[in-house]
Amino acid sequence: MIQPIDIKTTSFKKGLFGYNKIDVDSFKDSVYKAYDEAVSENNRLSEENEKLKKTIEDSRLKIFDLEKKANAGGSGEASAADQAKAQKIIEEAQKSAADIIARAKAESERIVKGEAAADVKPEVKAEPKAEKKAEPAKEAEKKAEPAKEAEKKAEPAKAAAKKPAAKKAATKKK
C-alpha cells in the first residue's frame, strides 16, 4: 500500500513538453489502487462496526431483561430451586450426623469391650453385689460419652444446614 510520504516525494522526469507521461500515469494508477483499497477497507470496517454496535445493543437489552426477570419474576423459581438445594443439604447433614453418631457408638462399644477384657481380674469375683451393679451403669456412661460428643459435634452441622432453609423461608415471606 502506498504511503502519503511516497506521494509527496515522488519525482517525475521532465520531457520535451513537461513531465514524462508514462511515469505520471503509472504513479496515478498506483495512487488510485491504494486509495481504492483504503476506501474498501474503510467501508468494510464501518459495516463491521455497525454490526458490532447492534450486537452490543442487543446484548445490553438481553442483560437488562435478565436482570429484570431476576429481580422480579424469576424470584419464585429461584427460591424453589434454592429450597430444594437447602433441603438436600439438610438431608446430607442429617445423614452425616447419623453416620458420625453410629461410628462413635461403635467405637465406644469397641473401646469399652476392649477395656473390659483387659480390666477383668480374679479379684472381681470377690466384689460385693452393689459394686457389680454400679459397673454396668459406669459402662453405659462410658458408652454414651462418645455418642454424646459426636452429637455435640454434629449439632453445628445441623444448625448450619437449618439456617439457609430458615433464611430462605424468611426472605420468601417478605
Let me know the angle formed at the C-alpha of 153 by 88 and 164, rounded to the nearest 5 degrees. 35
CA pair distance 137, 142, nearest whole angstrom: 9
127 φ/ψ angles, rounded to the nearest 5 degrees: -70, 150
Q: What is the pLDDT of residue 123?
A: 46
pLDDT values of the chain reduced to their tens digit, one per residue, 174 residues: 778 888 888 888 888 888 888 888 999 999 999 999 999 999 999 999 999 999 999 999 989 888 888 887 655 555 777 778 888 888 888 888 888 888 888 888 777 776 554 444 444 444 455 445 455 556 656 666 666 666 666 666 555 555 555 555 555 554
Q: What separation, in Å, do the N-terminal and C-terminal C-alpha atoms of the chain show?
A: 68
How many angstroms separate the Cα of 158 from the Cα of each of 7, 52, 68, 153? 82, 52, 35, 9
Q: What is the pLDDT of residue 122?
A: 45
- For 36, the enclosing helix (H) or strand (E) is helix 21-71
The pTM (predicted TM-score) of the whole model is 0.36
How many angstroms separate the Cα of 100 from the Cα of each of 43, 96, 161? 71, 6, 16
